[in-house]
Amino acid sequence: MTSTPVKAGALFLGACLAALGVGLAVATPVGQTGDSVAASRSATPTVPDVAASPSASAAAAADLSRTETSRTPAATATATPSGTGTPSATPTPTPTPSPALPLEGRVVALDPGHQSGPGSSAQVPNGRGGTKACNNSGTSTNAGYTEPEFNWDVVARVKALLEAQGATVLLTRETIDQLVCVDERGTFAQDHGAEIIVSIHGDGNENTSVKGFFAIVSDPPLNDAQGAPSQALARAVLDRLGEAGFTPNAAYPGGLSYRSDIAGVSLSERPAVMFELGEMRNPDEAALMSSEEGRAQYAEAVAAGIADYLLANPLEP
């Protein structure tokens, strides 16, 4: 950039501002670039009243941009005061809200079965007039990967997947080692405003040739939520597990185990299902359940099944 156009620009700026009734309070040093002129003018506190006027500045900027072709768009932008007159201050139409996520407003309880660490034999209500032990610490693979670790990890993944679809997800325990008895987990859904509760487990059949997933529901049902709705929730997840390529447990035709002795489902007044996702003593499933990839696949199937159920059973208006 030569000095001649700069001077011409500076002089022209003065002329423009003078024409607008603005005194050039800042002397332009020799050799100062047009960019600096604009910067010092906009930063000068002695001419704020008129220079800050969008119309005056905009006119000056427009004149400069026409007469000084070397001026960059950035310099023109610098000459325009922020605030009124800029596009950001122009009333803009309210942006169209993004479409609601499919599970927005839905509340799901997830129960990572068993705490790490010791259980408790304290007797608690079983939902059918009797009592049973508070909780045990579950099973493990022969290599020592524990059921609480598996349950906690899968539940965390399911939670994230459902939350990504807009659901609110509540867990029955806050930490992997928190001891929460089966009766408290059984009433958790109605106690915390969840629509459904899904309990995640790995089974520990001592027969290592046994493999496959199955679902446990309360039977005979003790309320409306424990019959068809719980079975429909079970079915939705079982279907997704099958589609994902996991093995159904051959001992349970249709994938359902009907139990009267599971407090976690007997005490629920919301659709409630306990899933045994695999057999931790079976070498094939132990490898699958011990791997991050395997757990991610379990979680995707469980979350997809829960979403299927919720979308098939919309909230009543």
Q: In a 10 Å sphere around its CB, with 0-12 CB exposed, 13-18 middle and 19+ buried, how is residue 98 labelled?
A: exposed
Q: What one-character DSSP code corresponds to residue 191? A: H
List the structure tokens of 204: 């520990």
To Zn ion, the closest distance from the beta carbon of 114 in angstroms equals 5
**Closer CB to Zn ion, 107 or 181, in the complex:** 181
Position of minimal CB gap to Zn ion: 201
**Closer CB to Zn ion, 113 or 127, in the complex:** 113
Give the separation between CA 86 and CA 35, rounded to whole angstroms. Answer: 20
To Zn ion, the closest distance from the beta carbon of 216 in angstroms equals 10
Give the separation between CA 312 and CA 306, rounded to whole angstroms. Answer: 10
Give the separation between CA 317 and CA 305, rounded to whole angstroms. Answer: 23
To Zn ion, the closest distance from the beta carbon of 255 in angstroms equals 17
Give the separation between CA 242 and CA 47, rounded to whole angstroms. Answer: 75
To Zn ion, the closest distance from the beta carbon of 228 in angstroms equals 25
Nearby residues of 266 by Cβ (< 8 Å), 6 or more positions away: 126, 127, 128, 186, 218, 222, 226, 260
To Zn ion, the closest distance from the beta carbon of 267 in angstroms equals 17
**Closer CB to Zn ion, 78 or 126, in the complex:** 126
**Closer CB to Zn ion, 138 or 271, in the complex:** 138
User: Would residue 276 show up in a list of annotated catalytic residues for this protein?
Assistant: yes
Give the separation between CA 228 and CA 193, rounded to whole angstroms. Answer: 20
List the beta bridge partners of residue 196.
108
> Residue 173: which of 155, 146, 150 has the closest Cα?
155
Pick the catalytic residue from 276, 279, 285, 293: 276
**Closer CB to Zn ion, 42 or 218, in the complex:** 218
Which chain residues interact with Zn ion by CB under 5 A? 113, 138, 201
Catalytic center residues: 276
